[in-house]
Structures are given as structure tokens and as C-alpha cells.
Amino acid sequence: MIGVVILAGAIVSAQETPASKLRSDARALINAGKPREAATMIEKAIGQGGDTTPELTQLLGVAYYHADDYARATELLTPVADRLPQDSIERREAVQVLGLSLYLTGRFAEAVPRLEATRAWASNNQELAYILAQAYIQTREPAKARDVLAGLFGAAPGSAAAHLFAAQMMIRLEHDELARPELEKALALDPKLPRANLLLGQIALFRGRLDEAITFSEKELAINPSDAIALSQLGDAYVRGSKWDDAIAVLQKSIWLNPFYSAPYILMGRAYMKKNEPAIAEGMLRRAIQYDPNNRTAHYVLAQLLQQTGRIDEAKKEFAIAEKLQGQAGR
């Protein structure tokens, strides 16, 4: 669940009514981290013929949001958000929570106007800006996403850094086709911008364009020779191209620069397996697991190695760990 900017305070009149007390008690439960209890209380009151005003429906929607039931929150808030008094705390909260709920249920186009409306009065809220930028990317509005991210990270609009920030977010959200033009624009503005070539290499590697991945990784290293991630990425491209000795040489450098990053150890393990040096391969893979015990790939490759060398019981154990980690990743 994404935190909201505000929580509407319970408004209690001098002469408290049953309806106002219900809202006050429900709000207290939400604020105490008991949104399910608040929802049950409100629904019980509604079922008994109690208050069914937009304000109570709004509070019920907020309770469901905090209970991580975003679909139900959306269902409740959609018909009432625009019926609440203009500029009231309740309306602001309803619009904000509705926008977040729509975003979290993948209804990005519907979420954008609600998030934009919230940003109009919460312009300094960083988390909201971060979510809005992601929504813009999901709705394929790269310029808007770039402008929001530039403001969030203190970069000048249209600068090389702004394009780089946008590209990084696009890659994380698996919109490589949007990221590549951003990176090309960034490099056109600043040919020595760190990490732009690295990300272009990452995109190329993901798409199996190994020569391109090697070229971009080498360009990144020309800008920053001590970038352990770029060395690991270059080694990855060499492994995929079956260039085992070239891979080992650059991966060893990556490890020397950052010995606590598991990826180059896994890649080294694969390379040494192909070179028929199982003892060294096992050492590399176990070191990867030492630094990253929950790395499914490390356990799986180690299981393959153990199986190949006839250590069947140990292999079964590693396969089981890898399968368990795969299940956890899918939840």
C-alpha cells in the first residue's frame, strides 16, 4: 500500500450525533492500523439503516484502501469523490485514495487525472510525484513523466539528466521502447553522461543483441573504468556469446571492484562450468549464495553443477531451494 498525503480528521460537532460518532470511531480505527475493523463497523451500521451519506461511503472506501483492497476502494470512491464538497478535506482524500487505488489495480489512464488533481495541492509530496511519473510512463506519456522526474530529482527540464532519469524508470517498468530514445537524447546532450551507455547495453543484452551490448558496455567503461556493473554486464554478454576466457577476465575485474555483488560470481560459475573446471565453478556459485542467499539463479546453476558431477542429493537440495524461491517471486 502507498501512503496517502493526509488523513481527513474526524469532524465532530459540539453536539455529537450517532452518525458523527460512527465516523469518528471508524477514523480512529483506521489511524490505529485496524482498517478491516473500521470497514466492518461502517458496513454493519449501513446494514442497520444508518448513515449512507457520501462522507461515510468515502470513509468506507478509505478503510478498504488501507486494508489493501484497492478494487473495493475504487468501487466505493468512484461514485462519491466528485459529490463531496469542493476543496473539502474529505474530497481531497477521496480523490487521492481513488487515484492511488486505480493505479494499484492497473487502471493507469483513469488514475492519472486523480493523481494530477492531488498533485495540484500536494506539489511537494515526493511519493505522489514518483507514482504520477510511473502512471505517465504506463500511459505512454514520456514527456510528462520526464518533467515530473526532473522536478523530483532536481534536474533541469529537458536536460541530459532528466532524460536519463526517465529512461531508468521506463526500463524498470519494462518499457524499453520508450527508454531507448530517452537515452539517445541524453547522450546527444552529454556524450559523457554516466550510465546512459550502460542502460543502452542493458536493453541490447535483454534483446539478445550481443555485439551491441558489448559496444555500449565498453563505451560506459571508457567513461567510468571502475564501474563494476558495466564490467559485469560486459562479462554477461561474453558468456552469452560463449567467449569464456574474455568473460572471466572482465568478471574478475568486476569482483575485485565490488566483491559483494552476486551477479559476476554466477556468470563466472557458468563460464568455468563450460571450461570444465567444476571446482572453481562451485566456489564461485557458493560465493554468490553467500552474498545473496535468496538468489534463485545461483541455487539453480549450482544444482545443475552438482547434478553434472554426480552429487545427486546435494543437487536435489539446491533445486528445491531454487523452486521455493521461484514460488516466492511469483507471489
Cβ-based neighbours of 256, under 8 Å, separated by 6 or more:
none
Instruction: Quote the pLDDT of residue 287.
Output: 97
Instruction: Quote the pLDDT of residue 330.
Output: 46
Helix (H, G, I), strand (E, B) or coil at 317: helix
User: How far apart (Å, rounded) are the C-alpha atoms in residues 230 and 226?
Assistant: 8
User: How far apart (Å, rounded) are the C-alpha atoms in residues 126 and 138?
Assistant: 19
Give the three cell numbers for residue 270: 557458468
Enclosing H/E stretch for 181: helix 176-189
Per-residue pLDDT of the chain (331 residues; tens, 9 = 90+): 676 655 444 444 445 677 778 888 999 999 999 999 999 999 988 876 655 788 899 999 999 999 999 999 999 999 999 999 998 999 999 999 999 999 999 999 999 999 999 999 998 899 999 999 999 999 999 999 999 999 999 999 999 999 999 999 999 999 999 999 999 999 999 999 999 999 999 999 999 999 999 999 999 999 999 999 999 999 999 999 999 999 999 999 999 999 999 999 999 999 999 999 999 999 999 999 999 999 999 999 999 999 999 999 999 999 999 999 987 764 4
Instruction: Quote the pLDDT of residue 6.
Output: 54
Cβ-based neighbours of 26, under 8 Å, separated by 6 or more:
38, 41, 42, 59, 60, 63
Instruction: Quote the pLDDT of residue 3.
Output: 65
CA 122 from centre of chain: 22
Instruction: Quote the pLDDT of residue 16.
Output: 66
Cβ atoms of residues 319 and 308 within 8 Å: no
CB under 8 A, 24+ apart: contacts of 116-121: 118/5, 118/92, 121/92
Instruction: Quote the pLDDT of residue 52.
Output: 74
CA distances to 186, 213, 283, 300, 311 from 237, in Å:
24, 7, 22, 20, 30
